[in-house]
A = this chain, B = another copy of it.
Amino acid sequence: MELEENSIEIDMKGEMKLRQPLLVKNRRNHTSQHAIVGANICPIESLDYEIIENDLFKQDWRSRTRVEILQYVSLKWTLVLLIGLSTGLVGFFNNLAVENIAGFKLFLTNNLMLQEKYYRAFAAFACCNMVLAAVAAALCAYISPAAAGSGIPEVKAYLNGVDAHSILAPSTLFVKIFGSVFGVAAGFVVGKEGPMVHTGACIASLFGQGGSRKYHLTWKCLRYFKNDRDRRDLITCGAAAGVAAAFRAPVGGVLFALEEAASWWRSALLWRAFFTTAVVAVLLRGFIEFCKGGKCGLFGEGGLIMFDVSSAKVAYSSTDLLAVISVGAIGGILGSLYNFLVDKVLRTRGPSCKILLAVTISLLTSCCSYGLPWLSPCIPCPRRLEDHCPTIGRSGNYKNFQCPPKHYNGLASLFFSTNDDAIRNLLSSSSDGEFHLSTLFGFFVAVYCLGIVTYGIAVPSGLFIPVIIAGSSYGRLVGTLLGSHCELDAGLFSLLGAASFLGGTMRTTVSLCVILLELTNNLLMLPLMMLVLLISKSVADCFNKGVYDQIVKMKGLPYMEAHSEPYMRHLVASDVLSGPLVSFSGVEKVGNILHALKTRAHNGFPVIDEPPFSNAAELCGLVLRSHLLVLLKEKKFTKLRVLMGSADLMDRFKAHDFGKAGLGKGVRLEDLDIEEEEMEMYIDLHPITNTSPYTVVETMSLAKAAIFFRELGLRHLLVVPKTPGKPPVVGILTRHDFMAEHILGLYPHFNPHE
C-alpha cells in the first residue's frame, strides 16, 4: 500500500500523467481487501447490486420486448427448478453415501467385536475413520480450501455483497459434496447442513453464470442473468434448498435462508425460495417412496420427519414451566460459551498441517467413541423390550457393545452410531430411563468438547448437528435429573435442550422453530419451544454475537450490519472518506485511464464533465473498472478530444458485453494491449457512465449514510459537497469505509461498546 502511494507521487511529479487528485488527504483506508474464505486467505470484492444506468443499459432495458421479458421470467423459474432438483439430488446422494459408508464401518467393527477381537475392532474403526478424515482433508487442502468449514458464513457474506472467487466456484462445490460425505462418515462430530447450504449456493451460482463461452453455452437468454442482482436471488434460493435437503424441512429452509443467510428480502424472493424448497420436498418424498423396503440401505427411515416425537404426550403444569425456563437460560449460557470457545479455538489455529490436524482429531474422536463406552456399566435390558434389546448390527437404541447377552451399553448406543441415530435415540420418548445420568453427562461433555475442537479443521463441517447433539444430551440430562418431579418426559426435555442450544448459538428464532417442528413433528410443543428459544437467545445475546456473525467477523469479511453503530451518529459522511480520489473527465486520455487502473485498486471512478462539454465542472456519473476494461479492449479511440456519442458504440457493443462476468472471468488489465501512440488518444466515457449514481451530501451523518448504503445494497456511494464548488464530488464511500476498524482507527476516542 505504502509503496503504491509513493510510486504515484513520483509519477505525478515526474510525468504528470494523472490529473491532480481532487481530494488529497493523508487519510487512507487500511482495512484489508483480503479475508479468510474456508481455510485460505483470498482477495475479496464487493458486488454490484445497483442498476448501472448508462446509455447502453438504458437502451437495452427500454427495448426489451414482451417476449424477452417472458423469456427472462420463465428462464428464472426454470433455473430455480433446476437448482431445487440438483440440490435435492445431492442431498439424497449425500444421505445415501453417508449412511452406507458409516453403516459398513460400524458393521465391520461390530463383527469383530462379536468375535471378541476388541483391539482389532478398535484398529479397524480408527483406521476407517482416519482414512476417511485424511481423504476429506486432502480434498480440502489440495483442491479447494474454500470448502472447509460450515460455509454458511461465506454464503452469508456473499449475500451481503462480498464476493471472493473461490466462495462459489465449481471446485468448491465438488469438495463440499465429497468432503462432507467423507467427513460425516468419518464419525466427526460435524453436520452436513452447513455444507448443504453452501452446496445449494454453489449449484445456484453455477446455474446463474449466464452461460459459458468456454463450453459454448451462450444461449441468448442467459445473458439476462449476467448481473449480481439475479445471481443473489438464485443463490438465496440455493441456500434455502440446501437446508431443505439436509433437514427435509422445506418451510424451515426458506425461513433459514431468509433469517440467517440473506441480507435483503422481498416477497417475490420468498415465493421463489418456497418454490425451490417445494421441489426439493417433492423430490425427496419421491426418493423415500422409491427407497421403501431397504432398497437404498438406511436412507429414508422416518420418511420426511427425521426425528419423529409426535407420539409423545405433551402435558405440563405451571411448575414444569419453571424447569423449562431454566433449561432455556442455562442452554443460552452454554450456547454462548460454545460460541466463545469456537471463536477462541479458530483464532489459535494456524494454517499449517491441515491433514495432520484432521487425522489427529479423527483419532481423538475414535478414542472417545470406542473408548468411553468401556467406562459405562452394562445395564440389563428392560423386560418389556426383549425383542428390541440389545440391537446388534443394526441401528437403534440399546447397543450391545461389549456387554453380555440381554444387557446393553448406554454410552455405546449414543457414541457407536451415526450422529443422526444418536439424536434419534436421545429424542425418543419411548425409552425413559434408558440412559443413566452418568452416561448422559459423559456423553454431553465429550460431545460438547469434540464439537468445539472439530469445527474449523479443514473438512466441510456443519455446526447444526454438533449443537443439536450436545443440546439434546444436555436436555435429556436435565430431564433425567428431574425424573418424576416433572410431567414432561425426558425425550421432550431433550428436544427443549436442543432448542435452547440452537437458540444460544445460532440466535435465529422463527426458522429454528420451524426447522425443529419439521424435524420432530410435534406441534403441541410449539409454545414451550418458543419460550425456550426466546429465553436462550435473550440470555446468550448478553454475552456475545451469534456463531455465524462471529465467524464472519473472525474471517475478516466486511459485513454490513442492518443497523448503524451509535458512534456513527457523531460523524458525518466526509469524516471517513479516504483519499486520494481519482476521477476522469467525460472524454479522457487513454493513458490517464490506464495509469489509474494500474495504480489504483478502486472499482469505481467518478466522471466529471468540464468545459467545453459543460459550462462548469459537473458530475456526469460513475464508471466501473470492469466496463472501462471492456471499452479499452475494443480500442475505439479518437485523436481529438471530442464526444463520440453512444450510437456509434451501440453498433459495436451489446449491453451484455458489459454484463458482469463471474469473478475472474472478465477482461483483465493484462489482456489489454495498448500501444504507445494510443496512450495519447482520447476516449468518450459517456456511453458507459452510470449517470444516476446514488449521492449523499457530505454533511449527512454517517449513521444515516450507513443505513442508506445498506438498504440499497450499494458498492459505491458518491459524496457531494454541501456548497456547490469546483469539485462536484468530495469522495466515494465503499463498504470498507463503514467498517469499525477503519472508523475507530481514525477516531480512537469513540467507544464502540457505548
Contacts and interface: CB of A to CB of B under 8 A. Distances in A.
Contact of A724 (B277, B566, B692, B724): B724
Interface string A598-620: 00000000000000001110110
Nearest to A65: B754
Contact of A509 (B274, B514, B569, B618): B274
A727 to B, nearest CB: 12
A698 to B, nearest CB: 9
A696 B621 CA distance: 12
A271 B305 CA distance: 26
A66 B754 CA distance: 7
A700 interface: yes
Given A259-B267, A270-B510, A530-B281, A524 B704 contact: no
Contacts of A722: 618
Secondary structure type dominating chain A contacts = helix
A469 to B, nearest CB: 23
Contacts of A521: 523-524
Nearest to A618: B723
A740 interface: no
A517 B513 CA distance: 13
Contacts of A619: 697
Contact of A61 (B304, B318, B534, B569): B569
Nearest to A314: B303
B700 A708 contact: no
Contacts of A526: 250-251, 281, 304, 518
B708 A712 contact: yes
Given A259-B267, A527-B250, A695 B692 contact: no
Contact of A304 (B278, B524, B533): B524
Given A526-B251, A570-B62, A270 B509 contact: yes
Contacts of A569: 58, 61-62
A64 B566 CA distance: 10
B523 A274 contact: no
Interface residues of A, number: 78
A212 B533 CA distance: 35
A697 B692 CA distance: 6
Contacts of A281: 526-527, 530
Contacts of A700: 53, 691-692
Nearest to A308: B523
A699 B566 CA distance: 35
A321 to B, nearest CB: 9
A255 interface: yes
B704 A285 contact: no
Contacts of A304: 523-524, 526-527
Interface string A36-58: 00000000000000010100001
Nearest to A517: B523
Interface in A642-696: 691-692, 694-696
Interface string A66-78: 1001000000000
A478 to B, nearest CB: 20
A5 interface: no
A708 B694 contact: yes
A254 interface: yes
Contacts of A282: 527, 530-531
Interface in A466-515: 509-510, 513-514
B268 A265 contact: no
B534 A267 contact: no
A24 interface: no
Contacts of A268: 562-563
Nearest to A521: B523
A729 to B, nearest CB: 12
A274 B51 contact: no
Given A509-B274, A531-B282, A524 B701 contact: no
Nearest to A58: B701
A275 interface: yes
Contacts of A53: 700-701, 704
A301 interface: no
A575 to B, nearest CB: 13
A9 interface: no
Given A267-B562, A286-B318, 14 more contacts: A51-B707, A250-B530, A255-B510, A268-B563, A271-B537, A277-B530, A278-B534, A281-B527, A304-B523, A691-B697, A692-B701, A694-B708, A711-B711, A724-B728
15 contacts: A51-B701, A51-B703, A53-B701, A58-B569, A66-B754, A255-B510, A270-B509, A274-B513, A518-B523, A614-B723, A618-B724, A691-B697, A692-B696, A692-B697, A692-B704
Interface of A: 51, 53, 58, 61-62, 64, 66, 69, 250-251, 254-255, 259, 265-268, 270-271, 274-275, 277-278, 281-282, 285-286, 303-305, 310, 318, 509-510, 513-514, 517-518, 521, 523-524, 526-527, 530-531, 533-534, 537, 562-563, 566, 569-570, 614-616, 618-619, 691-692, 694-697, 699-701, 703-704, 707-708, 711-712, 722-724, 728, 754
